Structure 1
Amino acid sequence: MRPDLAVKPKSVEYVGAAYTPEQLLRDVRPQFAFIGRSNVGKSSLVNALLGKDLFRTSKTPGRTQAVHYVLVDGAWYVVDLPGYGYAKLPQRELVRIAALTEAYFAERPRLTFVLLDGRVPPQGKDAETFAWLRSQGLPFRAVVTKVDALARAERAQAGRRFVQAFALSEPPILTSARTGEGLGEVWRAIRDALRGNG
């Protein structure tokens, strides 16, 4: 049971994946991007949010190496971006993923959710991501994942730690793909952005 999940989509359709900038979807419908370090639980969170097992989840980092598009209610997209910070990939692949991700953001998604593992201290790669999004004028929300692994006091502490480390203007959304906690707040952020209130 997921009492926090305020909205369920009427339709969810996996559209496809882009491995090169040329394959990126050109569509005027709003897009909501999900990005984070490898193994942050991004695919699990997107699956839980949409109520479908659209993306393969793995304990092995670096599995998502393309930009994946999911059309929701025929009106807007959830976009699962490649994870960053996994140095064991070949250098050529790291360069390809970086170029693909930068090209994607040139399309200016409506809102980007930056995922942070609640069990892990603030990381330099995450700081770089927030700094880059700010430099491009791209709106974002921080989302803390895997909070079901934390005691309640630790959850609040993790939220404050990320606010301070990344100079966040609002507290991060605390989520768990396993329990559904916080998914309703992610949905509300999406709805607000669609209405122009974000």
Structure 2
Amino acid sequence: LRSAAAGSVDAYLVLGGSIQREIHAAELAKQHPEIPILISTGSEDPCIWLIFQRDNAPMDRIWLEDCAQSTFGNFYFGMPILQQWDVRKVGLITSGSHLPRAMWLAQVLLGAHGIWVEPEIVSEQGVPGNQESWAKTGLDLGRSLVWAIASQFYQPECAGVRSLSSVDINRWRQEGFQCEHQGNLEASVPNPKSFLNVKNVF
């Protein structure tokens, strides 16, 4: 881990729960287009697509995963993907209020596989959606200690992993979707007629 800590970040892991984190991820994609980014159970696919389109950020190295249902799940399903990428140092994108428990779980689960975790805190407006009780955090920390050992022999696979560039925005516009109002994405829909099919929450 010491050698990994001294190296540069070679992937970013975005914990879902706030569209501000995905906006920050788009900025990182512009600054470091060569570094892959994994967004774990974030906003709906079209919302993330619109953020990257609006910011002219590259999408080809952005991956979406939607199997996780908790902070523990973010790392449970994210770790095998990071290992496939041969990641040694990951930038963990989350919020200040979510940082302590996220770092505890990350250091246990990712550290057990030689991955150094460097937090990157995103400023929030309001309360992020992935607030979890300290009781659940304690439970997840206990599970993480067990899984840190078990994952040396078995790793889960998430069928819901896809590239952001594969998102069919036209199909989503026809079906309708919702985005967090903080994303200010209404101006990102280029065709006013298509906007009639998009159900945004403002």
Task: Please give the TM-score of this superposition, normalised by the length of structure 1.
Answer: 0.34
Report which of the two structures shows the higher radius of gyration computed on alpha carbons: 2
Q: Which has the higher strand share?
A: 1
Q: Which has the higher helix share?
A: 2
Task: Please give the TM-score of this superposition, normalised by the length of structure 2.
Answer: 0.34
